[in-house]
Amino acid sequence: MQNNANFEIRALLTLADILKDCKNCTEKTDILKEFKSYNSALQRILFYAYSPSMHLPVNIPTIPNPQKHLEHGDRRLKHFLNILDQLRQKEISINAANKQIQQIFDKITVDEINLYKDIIDKRLFWGLSIHLINQIFPNLIMLPVHFQRANAYNSKFVLDYPIWAEPRVNGVRVKIFAMPNGEYGAYTKGYVNYSEIFTAYFPFLLKLAKSKNKSVEIDGHLYYSSWKRTSVLMDNTDIEESIKKLTFHAFDALIGTNKVALHTRKKHILVPIVNILEKYLPRIEIVPHVTLTQHEQLRKCFSRATYKKYSELVLKSPTASYQELVLKDPKAGYHPNKSNSWLVMCCQDEEDAQIIDIISDKTKTTCSCILCKLCDSSVLVIDNLTQEQKEFLWSNKNQIIGNFCSLGRQHKQEKRSFLKLKFDKSR
């Protein structure tokens, strides 16, 4: 391709528009792979814009009035990136860097100025994660934090009681961190940068990290009730106004080592930190838990039939997911991978019930509904049956009554539907 005087900068501005409109990660990966082959500046731009360790103390220069500038293009882009390189390597002072960047801003277009500002401010909202960037440029950015993940609960697990049970709170999983060396940030489990949302938190967290000479991390879910996807915030221009409507549900915190037991982390680390941060935005709350001492409590309190009522009345968490519970070992440390110390228990996707009667319709030639008894002894009338199901159940009612079936329902929906028969009387 022709390498004219301002080809790279024009291509970057075009790339920004394309990526902001593209929602498919595979397409973004293909676009970046093709783009990097003829744009040498892309790797350095992504490094400075997305690396959590790159918080350069640059003051944003004054933006001149829109006008036709005499000089713009690749040479200024390379000069700008060279200044950031020199500042990172401490070859020039902050004042010298600010002065040189101001001189660049005086001679380039407003679109280019906005691109450079977004790189410095880490507001380059191209919808890229660190994982995706590292696929294009291997090991370009070190992962700042690691997330503990839960295994799926299975009835074969032998639980070491007492255990904690927390509601699975809706939202985007985010970990906030601050390091003694001055690094800080907030990233999703897919390593998308959400740092700007938590700007008000960082002064305190950095001060705490430096005083302890240890890293500080807070794990939780970021929730915005009026959005289907909280990630929409990253495309929102009025971020300050949007942050007022956010809630961060924190459920864990670390200072330094991850070997401290969960009950100690929550009482002596998370609670004191939240007590300080609750005066800032976004609003922060601690995810509640209950302690279970025997399996009968787990079976009874968290049966699928009673979990919604339990979540509303006991946990008082309006954003709790009525689909999942997280069972946690309060004696365990924080594992930066999957571990049986966290178990996800699905509560309402599918549920076993005993068929205690099959009721006929007015013609007495097929059934109209079935009566099912749940594990908490409550009885439900299931009437949303297909015609095929009604005919089969009625014609085989003598063999079916007393056996078990699977009931299901959509997320947060009260009404259950008949899924399938389970010929198992061993329960």
Mind listing the pLDDT tens digit for each residue in 113-144?
A: 888 888 887 777 787 888 888 888 888 888 77
Q: How far apart are the first and last CA of the chain?
A: 71
**pLDDT over 50 (residue 412):** no
Please give the pLDDT value at position 152: 83
Asked whether 127 and 28 are in contact (CB, 8 A), the reply is yes
DSSP readout, 31-83? HHHHHHTT-TTHHHHHHHHH-TT----PPPPPPPPS---S--SHHHHHHHHHH
The sheet with strand 290-292 has its strands ordered as 149-152, 338-346, 320-328, 163-169, 290-292
Cα(261)–Cα(356) distance, rounded to whole angstroms?
46
In the predicted model, what is the mean pLDDT of residues 385-395?
85
Say if residues 18 and 27 touch (Cβ distance below 8 Å): no
Maximum separation of any 2 CA atoms in the chain, in Å: 91
- Token readout for 104 is 């660049």
Tokens 């407003």 correspond to: 110
Distance (Å, whole) CA 18 – CA 128: 12
The pTM for the full model equals: 0.63
Query: Does residue 42 contact residue 12 with C-beta atoms inside 8 Å?
Result: yes
The DSSP annotation for 234-271 comes to GG-S-HHHHHTT-EEEEEEEEES-S-S-HHHHIIIIIH
Q: Which residues are bridge partners to 339 per DSSP?
A: 150
pLDDT in tens, 275-328: 999 999 899 989 888 888 876 666 655 554 455 555 554 444 444 444 567 889
Residue ranges of domains in the chain, CATH in brackets: 7-136 (no CATH), 149-346 (3.30.470.30), 350-422 (2.40.50.140)
- Please give the average per-residue pLDDT across 380-393, as a whole number: 85
What the block records as the tokens of 222 is: 């970021």
